[in-house]
Amino acid sequence: MTVNFPDKDQVIAGLQALVGASHVLESEVSKAPYLTDWRKRFTGQALGVVRPASTAEVAAVMRFAADHKLAVVPQGGNTGLVGGSVPIGRGDEIVISLTRMNAIREFDPLSDTMIVEAGATIAASQTRAEEGGRFFPLSLASEGTATIGGAISTNAGGTAVLAYGNMRDLVLGLEVVLADGRIWNGLGKLRKDNTGYDLKHLFVGSEGTLGMVTAAVVKLFPAPKSRATAICGLASPEDALAFLTLAKAAGGSSLTTFEIIPRLGIELVLKHFADTRDPLFNCHDWYVLIEFSSASTDGADEMAQSVILEGIDQAFIEDGVFAISMAQRDAFWGLREYLPDAQTRDGQSIKHDISVPLASVPALIAAVIPEVEMLVPGIRPLPFGHLGDGNLHFNFQAPDGSDGPSYMERSSEVHAIVYKHVLAMAGSISAEHGIGQVKRAQLAEKKDPVALELMRTLKNALDPEGRMNPGKVL
């Protein structure tokens, strides 16, 4: 696509007229936080950063962008991990930050829904639901900064997918501003509506390449009256999978979390976060963070104790400990939530966000690790994450004392090994983080050709000029 570079002063003046001068950032210092991604891997350039306060203002900005042939980059909390929320710096881009659009427009406990603007954080949405006696289950390490719009754009998952599904499962309706500035009002609260195509699913997971989500109807659930959290030590992923099978059979929908962490993950958190402690007396090769929730006041505790004792009897579990207070529950969760930051503090890490069928998880770990260790001697495998839904963050820490940049130059070789085995097991190269810039080449290479053709057809229909978040996904 040929890019005609617009006159910056004209663009800034036009945008200021639409949203107010104080909400158009044009200096390099004021724009900087919006131009670099969360992992500091990508930094782009933009003519300006626009911060609209309403859907009408977003639509006006989009019409202005269409008239002046500007590309637009939708942005929420900018916590994405694949470079999808920052510009690529081609000279005609503006960033549209939706963080001022953070209202809870409606709370409807009878319908078990909320209408939430795209700039509201996940944590704020959780709090509003809790205040009304309801539960919004999406939970991420970055939930204090990550926004509802961003979670929708990447179809975020998190730690409760096992029981409640990912963001696609939590959305009933959307409000979207299209590339030409038209507003699609699809904020329906219906659980059943078979009047044609289900358009909302086009935009969930599209990473802002088809339109800009400005609000959503999200599902709520009854607030749990009891939770039981435990950490268990195990010898192998096979034992963890057997434990998961037991827990699902016994607990059903009350099993809300099942996270697997190797010993290296625990050690990194203990090393870099002084307020943490080893959860069990002895060291174990693998750990599972498990949580049950119940609508009764003591149902979760009874279920957790029964399942874990059965796991010990069947020798799936070597040891385990229950959280007996909220502080201890928070400490257990800290071992999981601090892990991404611990990796960063410990040095360079080659990361993967993959999924395979549950039964294939142990075989994937067994196949990938020896091959990568042979490629890079001393590399430290760190596969962890959402075993309950088959999603692993299959990461590799650099060898102790290695040169960071030189290590990261091996990324493509490590990716090739991981993706080879993932695809052989009918898995996905992106489970919950999206494609963005990081996996764009891999998507083009590994996605089914017919699927890619259909995706391009949809892109051309909704964004024929290619102005929506250019350089991402396709």
One digit per residue, pLDDT tens: the chain, 474 residues?
Answer: 556 677 899 999 999 999 999 999 999 999 999 999 988 889 999 999 999 999 999 999 999 999 999 999 999 999 998 999 999 988 899 999 999 999 999 999 999 999 999 999 999 999 999 999 999 999 988 899 999 999 999 999 988 999 999 999 999 999 999 999 999 999 999 999 999 999 999 999 999 999 999 999 999 999 988 899 999 999 999 999 999 999 999 888 889 999 999 999 999 999 999 999 999 999 999 999 999 998 777 778 888 888 888 989 898 999 999 999 999 999 999 999 999 999 999 999 999 999 999 999 999 999 999 999 999 999 999 999 999 999 999 999 999 988 889 999 999 999 999 999 999 999 999 999 999 999 999 999 989 999 999 999 999 999 999 999 999 999
d(CA 302, CA 322): 11
| The predicted structure's pLDDT at residue 44 | 94
Cα 364–Cα 140–Cα 360 angle in degrees, nearest 5? 15
Contact 336, 290 (CB under 8 A): no
Handedness of CA 102, 103, 107, 113 (dihedral sign): negative
Does this model's pTM top 0.85? yes
CA–CA gap between residue 9 and residue 77 (Å, rounded): 27
Q: What is the rounded distance in angstroms from the CA atom of residue 267 to the CA atom of residue 342?
A: 9
Q: How far apart are CA 359 and CA 242, in angstroms?
A: 10
Q: How much of the chain is helix, strand and coil, in % rounded to 5?
A: 40, 20, 40
pLDDT (0 to 100) of residue 305: 86
Give me the torsion for CA of 37, 42, 46, 51, rounded to 10°.
-10
CB–CB of 297/222 below 8 Å? no
pLDDT computed for residue 45 by the predictor: 94
Considering the chain, tell me which residue range(s) the CATH 3.30.70.2190 domain(s) occupy.
226-340
C-alpha separations of 45 from 36, 37, 467 in Å: 9, 12, 15
CATH code for the part of the protein at 348-432:
3.30.70.2740
As its CATH architecture, domain 226-340 has 2-Layer Sandwich (3.30)
164-168 long-range Cβ contacts below 8 angstroms, 24+ apart: 164/137, 164/138, 164/221, 164/256, 166/432, 167/138, 167/204, 167/205, 168/201, 168/204, 168/205
* Closest to 61 (Cα-Cα) out of 467, 472, 474, 473: 467
Burial classification of residue 297, based on how many CB atoms lie within 10 Å of its CB (0-12 exposed, 13-18 middle, 19 or more buried) = exposed
- Residue 318 neighbours by CB distance under 10 Å: 17
What stretch(es) of the chain map to CATH 3.30.465.10? 104-222
Per-residue model confidence (pLDDT) at position 3:
61
The torsion angle over the Cα atoms of residues 275, 279, 280 and 285, rounded to 10 degrees, is -110
Residue 453: C-alpha distances to residues 76, 449, 474 (Å): 29, 6, 10
First to last CA, the chain: 13
If 0-12 CB within 10 Å is exposed, 13-18 middle and 19+ buried, where does residue 408 land?
middle
Question: Which residues belong to CATH 3.30.70.2740 in the chain?
Answer: 348-432
Q: What is the pLDDT of residue 317?
A: 95
Q: Are 338 and 270 in contact (CB under 8 A)?
A: no
CATH class of residue range 104-222? alpha beta
Q: How far apart are CA 78 and CA 13, in angstroms?
A: 25
Please name the residue that has the structure tokens 């400990």: 321
Q: What pLDDT is stored for residue 403 in this prediction?
A: 86
- Residue 433 tokens, joined: 């983080």
Pairwise CA distance, residues 207 & 454, whole Å: 16
HSE value, Cβ hemisphere, 13 Å, CA-based, for 342 = 23
CB 177 within 8 A of CB 62: yes
How many helices (H) and strands (E) the chain has is answered by: 18, 19
**Contact status, residue 248 vs residue 288, Cβ threshold 8 Å:** no
Contacts of 106 (CB under 8 A, 6+ apart): 113, 114, 115
